Chain A
Amino acid sequence: MNQLISLVKKDLLIEWRQKHTLFGVLLYVGATVFAVYIMNGQPEVKVWNALFWITQLFVAVNSVAKSFLQEHPNRFRYYFTVVKPSTFLLAKMLYSMVLMLGISLISLFLFSILLGNPVIQTAVFVGVTAAGSLALSAVFTFLSAIAARAQQNAALMAILGFPLVIPVLMILSNLALSAISPVYQEGWWVMMLVLLALSILVIILGLILFPFLWQE
């Protein structure tokens, strides 16, 4: 537990000290939202929702990719000697969840400024965004571990991950729709539970499979 906390703290500290990468990601979000705005102006509610989640997908690929890909391969050998693989993976997942949640909220803010704010129930939408960050960052953290072991870049992570997160994105956009349009959705909580269960499944699978990736 102590190891977990200190690993997460280490990653966040590095993030804070190397501000250029953090601000790079923020600029990426800003530029993406601005590009979307230039292409589309202020779209109608459904399109707004779709654009928001597509942006989240690209942000996830670019920000979460750093969790494993930014570390030098030799440094993994050092971690290998000090911590258990499951602790290491959990720490990376926690770190990318925190990062992703922050960036998602910033992009929500930017979206509401530039593309209009159709959100009626803000609390629900923020909740869905948080659940989305959890699911997306869990999947992409594990895939970035695979990409890092294969000595490939973030592009490989994207092609591995896109098909796997399509169902997650479908659930997310459906969940979010009930926060932005006044339609009543049957079984909202069931879908939310499915999403959370899916995230937990990803985390458990990651914990089982990561030790195999880790050993050389």
Chain B
Amino acid sequence: MRSNWWKILCVVLLAYAIIGGLLLPVPARHILNETIRNLYFHVPMWFGMMLLFGISFYHSLMYLRKQDMNYDIKAVAFLKIGVLFSCLGMITGMEWAKYTWGEPWSNDPKQLATAICMLSYFAYLILRGGIKDEEKRAKISAVYNVFAFALMIPLLFILPRMVDSLHPGNGGNPGFNSYDLDSRMRLVFYPAVIGWFLLGYWISTLHIRINQINYKRDNTF
């Protein structure tokens, strides 16, 4: 029970984020209107995705140092849930963009960056699928994960220079910075970010436990 406090916290925060996010008052903004509530669902997906990919990167690095299969199992689990979050973030974002920007896809640098991230992590999953030997699969995919993650970071600096952004807060659009983000919205937004991330972490730990049991079962005679 004592080690599970964060799971209870996750449920409480998410319940608050969903109920409060849909019912509590939000500032009325031109064009955004009520779609501003998407902030509680769409933006936490990105924070969750970045954190999960970061944790996965850390575990891949540790695998390369220690050559312990547990690190490989963890790296894959966090990466898969990160991919899930990126898909959800993409869907919620495109749905929102249809009503505010007029079309689901409009070459926004953040959309492009996410699309590129998604493509390269899908490629990671394909790469893993193609290798039979467990140790070799762990090593090669860890190398690719580190390589891809390290190349993603400069990408975040390059893309915004290449194409203009439509996102709130960029290019003169009203955003969620200190002026625009209402203090009432913060009260829901920060708990929502923590809640969604904890949910992602929770799903990952379940995935890790299943895979650790499978690994043990396959490697005992």
Interface residues of A (CB under 8 A from B): 142, 146, 149-152, 156, 159-160, 162-164, 166-167, 170-171, 174, 187, 191, 194, 197-198, 201-202, 205-206, 209, 212-213
Scoring B residues 4 to 42 as 1 if CB is less than 8 Å from chain A, else 0, what string do you get?
A: 000000000000000000000000000000000000000
A159 to B162, CA, bound (A): 23
Interface of B is mostly: helix
- Inside 8 A of A167's CB, which chain B residues have their CB? 116, 154-155, 158-159
Do residues A156 and B130 form an inter-chain contact, with CB atoms below 8 A? yes
- Inside 8 A of A166's CB, which chain B residues have their CB? 112, 116
Scoring B residues 196 to 220 as 1 if CB is less than 8 Å from chain A, else 0, what string do you get?
A: 0000000000000000000000000
A202 to B153, CA, bound (A): 12
- Inside 8 A of A194's CB, which chain B residues have their CB? 154, 158
Distance of B166 from chain A, by nearest CB (Å): 18
Closest-by-CB residue of A relative to B118 is A163
Do residues B123 and A201 form an inter-chain contact, with CB atoms below 8 A? no
Closest-by-CB residue of A relative to B121 is A163
A205 to B149, CA, bound (A): 11
Q: Contacts A156-B130, A163-B119 given; indicate if A149 touches B140 (C-beta within 8 A).
A: yes
Distance of B152 from chain A, by nearest CB (Å): 8
A171 to B154, CA, bound (A): 12
Q: Contacts A163-B116, A167-B116 given; indicate if A201 touches B150 (C-beta within 8 A).
A: yes
Closest-by-CB residue of B relative to A151 is B131
Distance of A176 from chain B, by nearest CB (Å): 14
Any A CB within 8 A of the CB of B126:
yes
- Inside 8 A of A149's CB, which chain B residues have their CB? 136, 140
